[in-house]
A and B are shown apart, each in its own frame.
Chain A
Amino acid sequence: MATKRALAPARTFLSGFRTAQTLPLTRSMATEAPLPQSILAEAHSAAHLTSTPTTPILHDTFTKPPPTAQSSRPTNPFLTTTTITTHAFPSLEPLAFHAYPSTHLLLPLRRDLLHRAVIFEGDATRQGTASTKYRSEVHGSNRKVRPQKGTGSARLGDKKSPMLRGGGVAFGPKPRDFATELNRKVYDRAMRTAISYRYRKGELFVLEDEAEIYDVGRESLQRYTKDFLRWQGWGHAGGRTLFVTRERREEFEWALSRETMGREARVLECEWVDVKDVLEMGRVVVERRALDWLFREHESDLPKEGRLMRALRDLSRRDAGSLEGEKLVQGQV
């Protein structure tokens, strides 16, 4: 069952996770940077009672030191790119290539991370409403059923004992929360690992635009959608398909909500996608904007230089700078 990550309890994702804190700038710090001379002069002159009035310090500027060679991190020489083909919908005509960094689409398979993420999602999804009555909660009298001694039978207290029929349950279930915790970075890496796994198996398809059906009447929409899935081999016979969209697609969702269409395919908005959803069906068809959103939401384990937006910017700069006559390196387009 899909869970919206935004509604998950905060402790699930942020506990054990130090939130960013801005340290207050105090004058007592030994490593404080020296103030500019002009401001020092104003401060010194203001301290003397007999001095002439000076202009008050209206601003406190600090000149940022120029970036040195040691401050910029070296680029990762092992970072490569991989391409994905985007398609039109619903014709599935290949339209373009798009490059993504290997940290997002070429992650090695980590079954342990996937397992942890799926178990975590399952635990959070549990309703936890099973309930039984203890012997103290069962309706009945507390009267001792028979005397302690002399009857020849086993000793008994009240009739609510778990050993008796109609009695309470000894250690039965009670409504509780089964949610567990998982490090956010672990979960994010698991999500990207799942997407990389589907990509590597050739079961990830990216759509350039919206996954929406236009110019088809409501009366024919279900049959049209079924024909589309059968044409491409994406229906029940092909192992079912998960469509991931950036926003709600009214017509397409309506078509897939009809009777028996659930066994052919399923559509989810990207905010509701779990690791289990990515791994469950025969293939995942995702809008490019939805894929970018998923990557942006699940890259907390990467340093800032490795995050998607910056990586794509660096890629585009690199492509613009490369000459046309250069030989291509394998793995690049």
Chain B
Amino acid sequence: MPRLLVNQQALRSAVQPAASGYVCLACRAQSQRHFSVSRRSRKEQLPFFKRLTKSIFGDEKSREASKKREDATRKRAEETVATGSVDYEQWVDEKGREWQRAAVVDPSINKDYKQSSDWAGLELIGGEQWVRERRDGGEQYIGFNPRRKTELTNEEWKNLLRHVIVEVMVAKQASLDLDTLTADREVDLDHWARTVGVTFEQKDGKLSMNFIKPGDRDLIVQALGLGVPTIVESEEATRAVDEAGEVVGFATDDIAASLEDKQPAAQDVADMAALDAQAKQRMHNIKIATQVTSGGSKHDLPAYAFMDPDIKLTIMKRVFQLTSHRLPDAVVSTASTPIDLYHAYITKPAPKKLAQTKELNKVKVSVPNVTVYSKRRTPIDKEKDVGRWKVIEEELLRRNLPVTGSRYQGAKTTTPLA
């Protein structure tokens, strides 16, 4: 009779109508094991005693295989000593698959290796989280806006809006695509100084820009990375403002020192921590630029209505890209001038908690015997104020009692069960 696979046996028992129609786990487990249904010939069979000694002490073949395994392990341990590294090593098996396997370390051979007595600092292998992280492809999300909002003062907002408006209007007058303004650019203080120092003038219903120096417009366009455009001269009058230099007062050496030299490009970032660092650096640079390029109070925003919706969209887009501040659509819809946008940006959102309102903040200062809390005060908070909570919590843990809430099946607990 040919050797039958147990799976076929199990299949047959599954197909045949059983009395109860149920196969227990033990039977299923047994059916998974391979067994033979054919009898061996008497010539192949060893005597009983020899079979017994073979199963207890092993035969020559098994002893040789065991020795071969030990030699291979010892050889790998000696290689580890030779290379001096206990990191993962690359290994290709006979089927051509690449594996990363741990090095074999034998403390009797490798005297420099000190075994750890606990698991502190060691790499944890296994578990669902570990498997998930290994399978992860590493794609990183990068948003259009920075991850964190840049908080600016009113003056800094004014400078930022002036900078953006000038960039947009220069590009618009040069009939260039406004989408290119939102290309990734580094913060250039000279460029910021040129844009923030511009004064606006309204004449006959048209808005014109007065640059600090005659060639500033072309430099601005070059900084935008668009090259020198063909300027339509009839739409504006450009003239050098002699007194602009004393208004925009800063020292380039000091500013250059405040900025770090290294500004990594977005493509070089490998993980979220590096992205965060880059975003933080950019926020810092923008804040520095808005601070040091602040002009006098006479450099106000133009009170000129947006004729082209693309201009308003580009201004909002650029501000969003630089500061991550987003205006509600209802506010954007009603804002028709840069001053409206400025007021919208400097308006702080309403506080979500009563304790954060202006009135209760005054109470905190003016009424010293009243304390305002933003959260509900629980008995645990009162114990923490006194300093007794640590003792209570330790005792509860020691007695394996729930620290907060009750202990039932499926309860959320912050304490480990004993």
Contacts of A119 in B (CB 8 A): none
Q: Which residue of A lies closest to B318 (CB)?
A: A94
Contacts of A333 in B (CB 8 A): 309, 312, 333
Q: Pick from B139, B330, B331, B336: contact of A330, CB below 8 A.
A: B336
**Residue contact B330 to A200, C-beta cutoff 8 Å:** yes
Q: Tell me the bound Cα distance from A92 to B272 in angstroms.
A: 18
User: Min CB distance, A218 to chain B, in Å?
Assistant: 9
User: Min CB distance, A193 to chain B, in Å?
Assistant: 15
**Residue contact B320 to A227, C-beta cutoff 8 Å:** no
Whether a CB of chain A sits under 8 angstroms from the CB of B31 is no
Q: Which residue of B lies closest to A222 (CB)?
A: B132
Q: Tell me the bound Cα distance from A215 to B144 in angstroms.
A: 17
Q: Tell me the bound Cα distance from A231 to B317 in angstroms.
A: 17
Q: Pick from A204, A224, A327, A331: contact of B334, CB below 8 A.
A: A331
Interface residues of A in 211-236 (CB under 8 A from B): 215-217, 219-220, 223-224, 227-228, 231-232
**Residue contact A223 to B136, C-beta cutoff 8 Å:** yes
**Residue contact B144 to A328, C-beta cutoff 8 Å:** no
Q: Tell me the bound Cα distance from A83 to B336 in angstroms.
A: 12
Contacts of A12 in B (CB 8 A): none
Whether a CB of chain B sits under 8 angstroms from the CB of A137 is no
**Residue contact B141 to A90, C-beta cutoff 8 Å:** yes
Contacts of A201 in B (CB 8 A): 328
Interface residues of B in 111-135 (CB under 8 A from A): 132, 135
**Residue contact A228 to B330, C-beta cutoff 8 Å:** no
User: Min CB distance, A109 to chain B, in Å?
Assistant: 13
Whether a CB of chain A sits under 8 angstroms from the CB of B332 is yes
Q: Tell me the bound Cα distance from A227 to B306 in angstroms.
A: 36
Whether a CB of chain B sits under 8 angstroms from the CB of A82 is yes
Q: Tell me the bound Cα distance from A131 to B145 in angstroms.
A: 55
A129-172 vs B, CB cutoff 8 Å, 1 = contact: the mask equals: 00000000000000000000000000000000000000000000
Whether a CB of chain A sits under 8 angstroms from the CB of B182 is yes
B255-282 vs A, CB cutoff 8 Å, 1 = contact: the mask equals: 0000000000000000010000000000
User: Min CB distance, A331 to chain B, in Å?
Assistant: 6
Q: Pick from A91, A204, A217, A324: contact of B329, CB below 8 A.
A: A204
Known: A220-B137, A324-B307. A84 touches B329 (CB 8 A): yes
Contacts of A88 in B (CB 8 A): 144
Whether a CB of chain B sits under 8 angstroms from the CB of A301 is no
Whether a CB of chain A sits under 8 angstroms from the CB of B313 is yes
Contacts of A85 in B (CB 8 A): 313, 316, 329, 332
Q: Tell me the bound Cα distance from A327 to B143 in angstroms.
A: 36
**Residue contact B333 to A228, C-beta cutoff 8 Å:** no
**Residue contact B328 to A328, C-beta cutoff 8 Å:** no
User: Min CB distance, A311 to chain B, in Å?
Assistant: 16
Contacts of A66 in B (CB 8 A): none
Q: Tell me the bound Cα distance from A213 to B3 in angstroms.
A: 53
Known: A93-B317, A219-B136, A328-B336. A202 touches B331 (CB 8 A): yes
Q: Tell me the bound Cα distance from A220 to B332 in angstroms.
A: 36
Q: Tell me the bound Cα distance from A232 to B145 in angstroms.
A: 8
**Residue contact A224 to B336, C-beta cutoff 8 Å:** no
Whether a CB of chain A sits under 8 angstroms from the CB of B303 is no
Whether a CB of chain A sits under 8 angstroms from the CB of B138 is yes
Contacts of B313 in A (CB 8 A): 85, 94, 96-97
Contacts of B312 in A (CB 8 A): 97, 333
A176-218 vs B, CB cutoff 8 Å, 1 = contact: the mask equals: 0000000000000000000000011110100000000001110
**Residue contact B141 to A227, C-beta cutoff 8 Å:** yes
Contacts of B328 in A (CB 8 A): 200-202
Q: Tell me the bound Cα distance from A227 to B135 in angstroms.
A: 17
Q: Tell me the bound Cα distance from A278 to B140 in angstroms.
A: 30
User: Min CB distance, A199 to chain B, in Å?
Assistant: 6
Q: Tell me the bound Cα distance from A202 to B143 in angstroms.
A: 20
Whether a CB of chain B sits under 8 angstroms from the CB of A325 is yes
Contacts of B147 in A (CB 8 A): 231
Interface residue tally for chain B (C-beta within 8 Å):
34
Q: Tell me the bound Cα distance from A231 to B327 in angstroms.
A: 17
Q: Pick from A227, A232, A330, A331: contact of B140, CB below 8 A.
A: A227
Whether a CB of chain A sits under 8 angstroms from the CB of B102 is no
Q: Tell me the bound Cα distance from A201 to B350 in angstroms.
A: 11
**Residue contact A83 to B329, C-beta cutoff 8 Å:** yes
User: Min CB distance, A76 to chain B, in Å?
Assistant: 19
User: Min CB distance, B291 to chain A, in Å?
Assistant: 26
Whether a CB of chain A sits under 8 angstroms from the CB of B305 is yes
Q: Which residue of B lies closest to A94 (CB)?
A: B317
**Residue contact B307 to A325, C-beta cutoff 8 Å:** yes
Q: Tell me the bound Cα distance from A93 to B145 in angstroms.
A: 8
**Residue contact A199 to B144, C-beta cutoff 8 Å:** no
Interface residues of A in 63-99 (CB under 8 A from B): 82-85, 88, 90-94, 96-97
Q: Pick from B135, B143, B320, B333: contact of A82, CB below 8 A.
A: B333
**Residue contact B329 to A202, C-beta cutoff 8 Å:** yes
Known: A85-B329, A227-B141, A328-B305. A94 touches B135 (CB 8 A): no
**Residue contact A217 to B139, C-beta cutoff 8 Å:** yes
Q: Pick from B137, B306, B309, B333: contact of A331, CB below 8 A.
A: B333
Q: Tell me the bound Cα distance from A84 to B329 in angstroms.
A: 5
Known: A93-B182, A219-B136, A328-B306. A231 touches B330 (CB 8 A): no
Most chain A CB within a 10 A radius of its CB, from B142, B309, B328, B330: B330
User: Min CB distance, A305 to chain B, in Å?
Assistant: 22
Contacts of B145 in A (CB 8 A): 92, 232
Most chain B CB within a 10 A radius of its CB, from A199, A200, A219, A331: A219
User: Min CB distance, A258 to chain B, in Å?
Assistant: 10
Q: Which residue of A lies closest to B306 (CB)?
A: A328
Q: Tell me the bound Cα distance from A215 to B309 in angstroms.
A: 33
Q: Pick from B135, B144, B307, B333: contact of A83, CB below 8 A.
A: B333
B63-86 vs A, CB cutoff 8 Å, 1 = contact: the mask equals: 000000000000000000000000
Contacts of B136 in A (CB 8 A): 219-220, 223
User: Min CB distance, A257 to chain B, in Å?
Assistant: 16
User: Min CB distance, B344 to chain A, in Å?
Assistant: 11
Interface residues of B (CB under 8 A from A): 132, 135-145, 147, 182, 272, 305-309, 312-313, 316-317, 320, 327-334, 336
Please name 20 further chain A to chain B contacts, defined as beta carbons within 8 Å, in addition to the given A199-B330, A232-B145, A324-B308, sorted by A numbering.
Answer: A82-B333, A83-B309, A83-B332, A90-B143, A91-B142, A94-B317, A97-B309, A201-B328, A202-B329, A204-B329, A215-B139, A217-B137, A220-B138, A227-B140, A228-B141, A228-B143, A231-B143, A330-B334, A331-B333, A331-B334
7 A-B residue pairs with CB within 8 Å: A82-B330, A84-B333, A85-B313, A90-B143, A91-B144, A215-B139, A232-B145
